[in-house]
Amino acid sequence: MPAELETMGGARFIPPTTMTMTLSIIHYPHPTLKYRSRPLVRVDQRLKDLAAEMLDLMYENEGVGLAANQVDLPLRMFVANETGERGSGEELVLINPEVERPKGSESQQEGCLSVPGVYGQVKRAKSIRLHAYDLMGNEINRDLDGFLARVVLHEIDHLDGNMFFDRMSDASRRELDPLLDDFCTDFESKRSTGSIPDDQSLAEARQRWEVDYTGLKVTA
């Protein structure tokens, strides 16, 4: 098992936060969607349960990928299945994913579970080399192309705090502005009623997850 990713056990165990939660998909412009996630340094049963719940949400919402940022978790992990159907295709849970060797480019329409109903043409590499870990700490090195490569690149963008429309041309992005403005209005309405916490509370919650799973050290 690589030194940078350890499963729960032994001296590396850190008592987890006492927070309990049921995951839900957050919508633009929630601050966690713009937050660059930190690499995980350990995996425990709770993280595996979160990954399973993320897969459930992905299928329920007819998606092919879902990043931890999209469920308000600042953890470098995403789930995917290019078929979008449970029991069909390959189900992936990828930790600390990185890509290299991008080749070619093509433009295709993309959408996002965090902006349902919004679509746009995005240019991405045709093929990539993926490096990641699974939930058992096993290293993954694979060459990907076609739609799966696009799904992986889309989800890694999320982990870096980027949305698909951030990659669109200014002119194409402006065409989406009225739809995105509706999401902003809805967000502010929910925040005004207290159903979405303020930025400071969200930042404190993210930090608790980072202390548990990314090795973040908090100094006084």
pLDDT at 217: 82
The per-residue pLDDT for 122 is 97
Q: What does pLDDT average to in each consecutive run of 10 residues of the chain (220 residues)?
A: 41 41 93 96 96 97 98 98 95 97 95 97 97 96 97 98 96 95 97 95 96 82
What local confidence, expressed as pLDDT, does residue 220 receive? 53
Radius of gyration of the chain (CA): 17
Q: Is 82 a catalytic residue?
A: no
pLDDT of res. 185 = 98
Q: What's the confidence (pLDDT) of residue 92? A: 97
- pLDDT of res. 5: 53
Q: pTM score, two decimals? A: 0.89
Q: Are the C-beta atoms of 16 and 141 separated by less than 8 Å? A: no
Structure tokens at 162: 């980027």
Residue 75: other Cβ atoms inside 10 A: 25
Cβ–Cβ < 8 Å for 103, 127: yes
Query: E strand or H helix at 129, and its extent?
Result: strand 127-133
Catalytic residue among 155, 175, 188, 204: 155
